Amino acid sequence: MRDYLNAVIIGCGSISVVHAAAINDSEFAKLYGVCDTDKSKLDAAVAKYGCKCYTSIEEVLEDENVDVVHICTPHYLHSSMLEASVKAGKKVVIEKPMTMNFDEYRHAYAVVKEYDGKVCNIIQNRFNPCIIKIKEMIESGKYGKILGLRGILTWKRDAKYYASGQWRGKWATEGGGVVINQALHTIDLLCYLGKKPKSVKATCDNRSLQGIIEVEDTAEAIIHMDEGVNALFYATNAYCRDSCYDLEVVMENAYLKYMFNNLYLIENGEMSLLESDKMEVCGKTCWGGGHKTVIGNFYSNLCGHGGEYTPFESAAEYIGVFDALYKSANSRKEEKVETL
């Protein structure tokens, strides 16, 4: 009996190299194969990794030697591939967003529960050392209750970026713009560190890519949470570079500032460095280094050795929030965050 799991990456785009590196780094996983409908991408991946190749997800799911599938495809394929994989008895690692809206998430949830699926949702920034430290400090209660949070993301995505894939920049295939793609991690962290989100009031706009994309490149919102806590959110793809995350958590007796990949405590007017994100990064620096940790932990967990990862249920709040955000931007009213 094998003491490792065979993995196949479905979708050989830019994020696939990060997944391949994480698989190869795990003692409990082996990169068994890659899958793509684009022959040039598939051939390049096979040449690089020396593994088996597939041209359709159906081929992958029919192979009894495949234990885990990594879904790294365009957004519009995520929920259908997730459900098909779980029904076929495969374990799943899936890139964000898990689904493009909350209705898809609710349907996928029923399938995962019915088939007792094991799913790891990639929201890797929860595993950044600074985020782990923030979570610990909040839960300790040392500085009192949370009063509010703020998350800001200013990145660059230009016409060349959107031309790199026909699915990008379209409502039907990407599901949105900066909110559902680049700033989804910011939304997730606000939910993860804050209180349970209840409603959202938001606006969205396309300020720099008119005539190039259908979706928004800029958005702002207030996320109303339990216990009277509000989280402020701002994101844009119209900046000149990919800036580091800017996250703030205000508590009764101090506040935390996460910027330049460092975490600072501001107490009584004095600022001190608490933690730094010193992680090996594979891929874009702005993606962080959490992929290796969460994927490695998932395989360790599946093989009975423990390890914390982000399961299917971990996506519920961020999907509920971005779904409500888009609805609010369209209705120009406050919209309720859906829950299961």
- Residue-wise pLDDT for 256-302, tens only, equals 999 999 999 999 999 999 999 986 666 566 666 789 999 999 999 99
Of the residues 103, 124, 145, the one at which a domain ends: 124
Give pLDDT, residue 278: 80
Give pLDDT, residue 279: 64
Which stretches of the chain drop beneath a pLDDT of 50? none
CATH number, residue 106: 3.40.50.720
- Residue 161 and residue 106 share a domain: no
Rounded-to-integer distance, Cα 220 and Cα 325, Å: 9
Give pLDDT, residue 286: 63
Asked, for residue 93, whether it belongs to a domain, the answer is yes
- Residue 258 and residue 137 share a domain: yes
Give pLDDT, residue 289: 73
CA dist 176 to 81, 114, 179, 218, Å?
19, 30, 7, 11
- Residue 184 and residue 130 share a domain: yes
CATH number, residue 260: 3.30.360.10
Domain that holds residue 185: 126-286+312-336
Asked, for residue 235, whether it belongs to a domain, the answer is yes
Asked, for residue 300, whether it belongs to a domain, the answer is no
Domain total of the chain = 2
- Residue 12 and residue 81 share a domain: yes
Taking a C-beta distance cutoff of 8 angstroms, is the pair 173, 167 a contact? yes
Give pLDDT, residue 74: 98
Asked, for residue 178, whether it belongs to a domain, the answer is yes
- Residue 168 and residue 190 share a domain: yes
- Residue 79 and residue 191 share a domain: no
- Residue-wise pLDDT for 168-207, tens only, equals 999 999 999 999 999 999 999 999 999 999 999 999 999 9
- Residue 221 and residue 162 share a domain: yes
- Residue 163 and residue 99 share a domain: no
